[in-house]
């Protein structure tokens, strides 16, 4: 059984339909890339999965349970976390951001998991009392990742971790994500940057709110559609 399974999901804003019957699945421990150009519908899909947008029709199952009518907090409690493009609160300190990520946990749990994360991200540990606004773009994304990992989600939905970052920081974020993989958290990463394919077990290419192609990393790397659109070949 897949950890997350979407069947024929449609959604949109007001009367405007954006998603047109999305089928997608993420297995336990898997890293899946949701690849698509600007306006393909990636953010809309992640927001529909976490419940910030209504699912008009179709099904969203998590560990076999239908989620599509539950409010976002109920989905979060079941183990789904969402990292938006912004990711962190700049006017709060690094420690405070991490505390917020553990909103549903006891103080003792937040302290324990916070300490583990600071081991994993030593750059953040050094600056733990500084404001998030003082961090570089790459470090901010790192904090965004640490913040959502505090709750030890089963599934982490990430919206464009590369957005607004210079290529050198994109590499840094990819390196940080590699340390995340293998700790039991499944990742669904929405990106227009094809470099993230290197992290993925599988991927889905979406365009115009529809899945155009899906397959393993190797299949996507070899696909003419992906090569033409993203590698400029």
Classify strands 80-83 and 202-207 as parallel, antiparallel or unpaired: unpaired
Per DSSP, which regions of the chain are E strands?
4-13, 16-26, 31-35, 57-62, 65-66, 80-83, 155-159, 186-191, 202-207, 210-216
CB of 165 to ligand ATP, least distance (A): 14
- Answer for the pair 136, 129: CB distance below 8 angstroms, yes or no: no
Which of 176, 185, 158 lies closest to 34, judged by CA?
A: 158
Considering only the stretches 1-9, 13-21, 114-122, 166-174, report the one whose residues sit in contact with ligand ATP under the rule CB under 6 A: 13-21
Which of 48, 44, 35, 55 lies closest to 212, judged by CA?
A: 35
CB of 11 to ligand ATP, least distance (A): 10
Is residue 87 near ligand ATP by the rule CB under 6 A? no
For ligand ATP, the closer CB: 16 or 233: 16
* CA distances, 78 to each of 21, 151, 209, 222 (Å): 24, 11, 26, 36
Is residue 39 near ligand ATP by the rule CB under 6 A? yes
For ligand ATP, the closer CB: 151 or 193: 193
CB of 39 to ligand ATP, least distance (A): 4
Is residue 44 near ligand ATP by the rule CB under 6 A? yes
CB of 8 to ligand ATP, least distance (A): 18
For ligand ATP, the closer CB: 102 or 209: 209
CB of 84 to ligand ATP, least distance (A): 11
Among 97, 192, 193, 214, binds ligand ATP (CB under 6 A): 192
Is residue 18 near ligand ATP by the rule CB under 6 A? yes
Is residue 40 near ligand ATP by the rule CB under 6 A? yes
Considering only the stretches 42-50, 147-155, 171-179, 215-223, report the one whose residues sit in contact with ligand ATP under the rule CB under 6 A: 42-50
CA neighbours within 13 Å on the CB side: how many for 168?
3
Other CB atoms within 10 A of residue 78 CB: 15
* CA distances, 205 to each of 9, 16, 168, 187, 231 (Å): 15, 22, 25, 16, 14
Is residue 11 near ligand ATP by the rule CB under 6 A? no
Number of residues that bind ligand ATP (CB under 6 A): 12
Q: Which parts of this chain interact with ligand ATP (CB under 6 A)?
A: 13, 16, 18, 36, 38-44, 192
């Amino acid at each position: 059984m897949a950890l997350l399974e979407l069947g024929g999901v449609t959604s949109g804003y007001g009367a405007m339909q954006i998603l047109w019957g999305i089928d997608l699945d993420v297995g336990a421990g898997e890293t899946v890339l949701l690849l698509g150009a600007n306006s393909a519908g990636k953010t809309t899909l992640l927001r529909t999965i976490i419940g910030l947008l209504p699912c008009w029709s179709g099904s969203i199952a998590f560990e076999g349970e239908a989620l599509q009518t539950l409010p976002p907090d109920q989905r979060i409690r079941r183990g789904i976390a969402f990292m938006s493009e912004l990711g962190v609160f700049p006017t709060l300190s690094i420690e405070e951001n991490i505390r917020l990520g553990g909103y549903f946990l006891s103080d003792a749990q937040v302290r324990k998991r916070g300490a583990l994360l600071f081991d994993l991200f030593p750059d953040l540990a050094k600056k733990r009392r500084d404001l998030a606004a003082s961090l570089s773009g790459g470090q901010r994304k790192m904090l965004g990742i640490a913040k959502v990992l505090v709750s030890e989600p089963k599934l982490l939905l990430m919206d464009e971790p590369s957005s607004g970052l210079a290529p050198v920081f994109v590499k840094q974020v990819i390196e940080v994500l590699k340390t995340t993989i293998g700790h039991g958290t499944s990742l669904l990463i929405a990106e227009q940057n094809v470099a993230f394919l290197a992290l993925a077990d599988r991927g889905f290419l979406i365009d115009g709110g529809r899945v155009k192609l899906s397959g393993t990393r190797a299949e996507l790397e070899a696909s003419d559609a992906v090569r033409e659109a993203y590698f400029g070949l």
